[in-house]
Amino acid sequence: MLEKTFNPSAVESKLYPEWEQSGVFTPALKGDKPNFTIMMPPPNVTGSLHMGHALNHTLQDIIVRWKRMKGMDVLWLPGTDHASIATQMLVERKLEKEGIFRKKIGRDEFLKHVWKWKELHGGAIVHQLRRLGVSPDWSRERFTMDDGLSDAVKKVFIDLYKKKLAFKDKRLVNWDPILLTAVSDLEVNNVETKGTMWQIRYPMENGGYITVATTRPETMLGDTGIAVHPEDERYKDLIGQYAILPFVGRKIPIVADEHSDPEKGTGCVKITPAHDFNDFEVGKRHNLPAIDIFDERARLNENTPEPFRGMDRFAARKLILEQLEADGLLVGAEEITHALPYSERSEVILEPRLTEQWYVDAHTLAQPAIKVVEDGRIKLVPENWENTYFQWLRNIQPWCISRQLWWGHRIPAWYGPDKHVFVADDEQEAQAQAEKHYGKTVTLVQDEDVFDTWFSAALWPFSTLGWPEKSVELEKCYPGDLLITGHDIIFFWVVRMVMMGMEFMGDIPFRTVYFTALVRDEKGQKMSKTKGNVIDPLEFMDLYGTDALRFSLASLAGTGRNLNFSKSQVEGYRNFATKLWNAARFCEHHQCKLDPDFNPESAQLAINKWIVAEVQKLGQDVVKQLENYRFDEACAALYQFIWGQFCDWYVEFTKPIFFGENTIEQTETRAVAAWTLGQILHLLHPFMPFVTEELWQDLSGGKKLISSAWPAYASTGEKLYKDKDAQEGIQWLIKVISEIRAVRADMNVPASAQLPLYYAEGNELVSKRLTAYGEVLCKMARISTIENAGAPEGMVPVLVDQDTFLLQIGEVVDLKEEKQRLSSKLKDIQKEILQLDGKLKQPDFVNKAPADVVEKNQLRLAEAQLQQQKLETALARLQSA
RNA sequence: GGGCGCUUAGCUCAGCGGGAGAGCGCUACGUUGACAUCGUAGAGGCCACUGGUUCAAUCCCAGUAGCGCCCACCA
């Protein structure tokens, strides 16, 4: 017996462990069953479930459940990412609160704390994912710092190093002065900020001044040149001369460089090679030294004079400006807005800093990655992401993979006393290399840094399958079939997986990438903690059930880049689950039981033939939409069918039968209703796994829906069952009932009144249908009797197709009301006739438009004219009454 | 500066060459025995603007305006 109402949380907490323990999530990877592989984008271990996770895991689970029901051997491999910066920050802060400081306790001790934290709290997100009802193979769960995955990282780096695709280089990086590490270009947020452009005079060696413009006066202490445009007439004479740098007294040359834009500022650019990306390039071109004036915390260092030495960069800026002002060297200040580079993690302004880091030659690796998308071997969905993908890869810069952090994969590089580098699997091997190199034993020091988290994430499609060892998983599941992820990590992750897959597996990591939209609030704003508009998916699951949340997200997963999430939608889909639940209760109440031997296509009654055909149509539609990743359309089809067809009409059609006496009809209808409900549950299961599983177990006597077979007819191209008479008959019936209801409402007939209906036009088909469907028509349209006879005076016409029915609405027909109703109907019809007639009278239309379009218009015109005639007749009768 | 996208009912969004759609919200009315987390009916739209292509444009093309995102740059 089904409970009176669906209780999502009780059902969820009961079913999920049942599924997980049954082993259905784990693929056999044996025999020749076709398999399907999808890798879960590993969430950060520090993460907690947000709407973005909820969206992309829901979509993954829909595909996975569907493929599994189709009989495929599905590997959905889950896991988490060690997220070096985020995790290190989190644990470090936590420890600081306890009075424990990272630098004090040292690397090994600190890492012990991180691992401990990871064991205790790292699983949070994985448990929250379970609440979403997702069905990955938890037995194969991976963590990016597992031994096997760490081996893969090492091997990849060593190989890249041997191929000279990984190398050490000294260049400018974006330096985070709070986290004390380099970050990649992608981790920089450029934020529009108000600032000031100052103009500063530098005295010339030979007298006079040159005026430069800058937004960062403090960097002048590191200036080693001034650039002017080679064709700028104003400064031509100065090229080759020297200016004297205030405070420092350094002689700096005036050089000619295209970088200088005569239109901007004063046309003279101060060059600080160590602290500006453009200046670095200019410096290289003119052999200007790069003088580093900051320490790791962006304080002025020993290369700067007193009183600035040791000051913070912003304090120094203030003091320098004051001094310049006092010295009469500050000659202008202009308010401007410019974009400043903020660190994504620490939200501090980044400092370009000259350091030695490890880089990967991304340009070389990018070429095959470009090709496989060009060739269509990897399909991006929606397709327009290709532009973004190509644009970035074609302009790719070397990828800085080292981070000055402790938590992560430590770089397997050792240095000899003379800084000679030995890249090796372990210290022993490095020693061996060193001995060969030096001819004696030396003390080696391992690189202090770890790899960028994305470096290990890039290997996820094969490192998780056991690579570099050979394994069944690797054999069967690479390349994968699908990746579903947010478009915000296309560069961070997707392109890098393709690059690494091509380089190390010689093959693509996946065939299709589906990019999800970004979840925003109902006003389209980005969710952020500071705005306070973050929606917690767990809260919605508690309130409305997981199924409702999943269905909402899938319904909203259209083709757009944003997905505006609103509460009322979830509520609506909670109601949808309730609706289904109640329909199932109705079936149960009327003893609709599944009969495995029953062939639905053998049904005799029109309503049964009709619903069988309709549900099959639905199945094909759902599959078509799923194949195109149109989750929204699949949801719409399911919702419309279940509520708008099955509940609104079919269930109502069965009532006269269930409350009647005909046991033969009852038997058939019970079987068809049960079968149809079963089909609905199958088709809906990937989207709403819990309510469907619960109902199916009830309907089927304990069978599991998650491991049931997907309906055979529901594959595109399969021939569908059809019964034309039944289809058309039921469609007609629905039209008649709707029309009568509309007239009744229009005429303010009390809902409880049972009215007689007259039909006297003698259309044989109509008479036949009235006989066949009379009972249900009466019940649903509140008709007392159907008279196959002429109508008494003063009746209200009901027009359906070419036929007029007359409805007797009681003693008093409000003539005025009725006249108005008919007149406005007539007006609509006349307008339509005018339009159609005009169109059909144009020779160009008749000659040039396709024949079927012309014919359709002619038919519509004929129908409209007939309706017009009927309406006019009815109105005339009204006038005479 | 380069690229991508959006503008359709009060709200959130589908549709994308031949009759303007859905959900939510709103209004009126509620009858039997699945369901008030419901039922029935209804109101509500120059499909941003201007041109062009076409027999036909919400849909294709060009431009304009507004909004959003990504990338690069800003001494």
What pTM does this model have?
0.94
Calculate the angstrom distance between C1' of B16 and CA of A420.
Answer: 64
- What b/e readout covers A399-417, taking b as 16+ CB neighbours within 10 angstroms? bbbbbbbbbbbbbbbbbbe
**Which two tokens mark A786?**
């159907």
Nucleotide closest in space to A754 (CA vs C1'): B31
The residue whose CA lies nearest the C1' of nucleotide B25 is A568
Residue A31: predicted pLDDT: 85
Residue A528: predicted pLDDT: 65
For the cut 90, the answer to whether the pLDDT of residue A566 exceeds it is no
Calculate the angstrom distance between C1' of B28 and CA of A743.
Answer: 14
What band does A536 get if pLDDT is binned at 50, 70 and 90? confident
Q: Output A418 or A790, whichever has higher pLDDT.
A: A418
For the cut 90, the answer to whether the pLDDT of residue A557 exceeds it is no
What band does A812 get if pLDDT is binned at 50, 70 and 90? low
Calculate the angstrom distance between C1' of B74 and CA of A368.
Answer: 34
Q: Which nucleotides of B are covered by protein (CB under 7 A)?
A: 2-6, 11-15, 18-19, 22-25, 28-35, 37-42, 54-56, 68-75
Mean per-residue pLDDT, A79-83 = 95
pLDDT digits (tens, 9 = 90+) for A212-263: 989 999 999 999 999 998 888 888 888 899 999 999 999 999 999 888 888 7
Mean per-residue pLDDT, A190-216 = 89
pLDDT digits (tens, 9 = 90+) for A692-733: 999 999 999 999 999 999 999 998 878 889 899 999 999 999
C-beta separation of A29 from A73 below 8 A: yes
For the cut 90, the answer to whether the pLDDT of residue A556 exceeds it is no
The three-state (H, E, C) secondary structure of A253-277, written as one string: EEEECCCCCCCCCCCEEEECCCCCH
User: What angle is formed at CA A121 by the lines to CA A119 and CA A126, rounded to 5 degrees?
Assistant: 95
Calculate the angstrom distance between C1' of B17 and CA of A481.
Answer: 36
CB atoms within 10 A of CB A384: 12
ipTM of the complex: 0.95
Nucleotide closest in space to A588 (CA vs C1'): B34
Residue A322: predicted pLDDT: 93
Calculate the angstrom distance between C1' of B57 and CA of A621.
Answer: 28
pLDDT digits (tens, 9 = 90+) for A654-664: 999 999 999 99
- How far, CA to CA in Å, does A151 sit from each of A275, A391, A426? 37, 33, 11
Calculate the angstrom distance between C1' of B24 and CA of A633.
Answer: 17
Closest Cα to residue A154, out of A357, A486, A426, A388?
A426
Residue A512: predicted pLDDT: 95
Q: Output A192 or A172, whichever has higher pLDDT.
A: A172
The structure tokens 């002429």 sit at A790
pLDDT digits (tens, 9 = 90+) for A258-272: 888 887 778 889 999
Nucleotide closest in space to A339 (CA vs C1'): B74
A160 Cβ partners below 8 Å, 6+ apart? A166, A360, A503
Which of A267-271, A352-356, A420-424, A820-824 is predicted most confidently?
Answer: A420-424
Measure the N-to-C terminal CA separation of chain A; round to a whole number of Å: 58
Calculate the angstrom distance between C1' of B51 and CA of A336.
Answer: 39
The residue whose CA lies nearest the C1' of nucleotide B70 is A388
Calculate the angstrom distance between C1' of B29 and CA of A570.
Answer: 28
Nucleotide closest in space to A746 (CA vs C1'): B41
pLDDT digits (tens, 9 = 90+) for A129-147: 999 999 999 999 999 999 9
Nucleotide closest in space to A571 (CA vs C1'): B37
Element (H, E) at A323: helix A313-326
Residue A439: predicted pLDDT: 92
